[in-house]
Every structure is written in structure tokens, then in C-alpha cells.
Amino acid sequence: MRIKRRYCLFTVLLVIASVASGLTFEQNPFNTAANTFRGRVLGFELFRIPSDSMMPTLMPGDFIWVSTSAYKDKPPQINDVITFLYPKDKSVNYIKRLIGRPGDTVRIENFKVYVNDEEIQQPYLDNALVRKPYSRYMQPVVVPEGSLFVMGDNRDNSNDGRFFGMVKRSDVIGKATLILFGKNNRTGNSIE
């Protein structure tokens, strides 16, 4: 009889927890594009970096922590490293650096990026990796409302906003904050 009551109580608690989790998932309290319970309810995602488009900041094979709650109360900032749904295929996650926000005018001249006619500081860039013509110059573009402009740190080897256009703010998953496992003694480094 006791076992039956415990089993019944356990079942009721399990149903309540499942319903509460499902409701929280649907409400999306962090306003993220994440499609997982972990991202929508627990506030984080884990990703492995597949390419060298964010070198030297992130290397292929790095395993990173992404805060899906980072933008709950504040908008993404210039130079944040963000994850988002790829505009041409929403089933693919991308990671790039935020360069322009709504209303900003972004341009590239002689490999330097300007936002609203001010050169942005890019200490994360390895200038030896920036040589291609499309990294040298880009006509000014104005970032529309509800959108963001992103670029990879490895400018010559990055499929980014210069090629696929703007990222919708609603497609942002979160802010990359920490290298959980990385090469070259970078494990535990924050992502700047």
C-alpha cells in the first residue's frame, strides 16, 4: 500500500514538473531563438566551433558556453560574440561578432570597420588573416530596425553579414561568454 502511494505521489509530481517545464519552454522567458529546453528554460546553450571563421578568438573544436539569458533585459552590444540562426537556413546555428545595431551605418575602408563614421577598435583581429579585397572595402549599409550586422573575426574566411545580409534580432540565440574546452591553454577563458 505504501509503495503504491509513493508511486502515485511520484507520478503526480512528475506530471506537474513536466507541465511546468513545458509552459516555461513555450513562454520563452529569455526571449531567445534557442529551440532546446536548456536554452529556453535553463538560460544556456553549449556549442562546438566547427570552422576557423572566428579565429583567433575561437578555434575549430572549441567547446563554448552561450548565455541565452544575456539579452533578456538589455540589447546586444557592439563587439559581443553572438550565436544566431543562419538567415538562409534556420536549422543551422552561426556564431559571429556583432558589428552594427539598428540605425547604425557600417562600412569598411582599407580593412578598417567604421560604425557611424567612427572606427571600431578590433583588438581581437589578426591582421595577417585580413588580405582579401572583400575585407578591404564595403559600401556603407544601414542596419534596419529589428536587425543586426555581424562579421567573423577571420574576415577573409567568414560567411557573414557581408554575404548573407542582416540577422534578425529575433533569431539571436545568445551571447558567447566562455571557452569551456579549448586548444592552446585557452580553456576557461572568457570570450571578448
> Which residues, including other chains, have CB under 8 Å from residue 152's CB and lie 6 or more apart?
53, 54, 96, 97, 158, 159, 160
CB 46 within 8 A of CB 180: yes
Spatial CA neighbour of 93 closest among 153, 35, 24: 35
Q: Which of 4, 18, 21, 53 is catalytic?
A: 53
**Is 123 buried (19+), middle (13-18) or exposed (0-12) by CB count in 10 A?**
exposed
Active-site choice (51, 88, 90, 96): 96
Active site residue 53: yes
Long-range pairs for 4-13 at CB < 8 Å and ≥24 separation? none
Active-site residues, by number, are: 53, 96
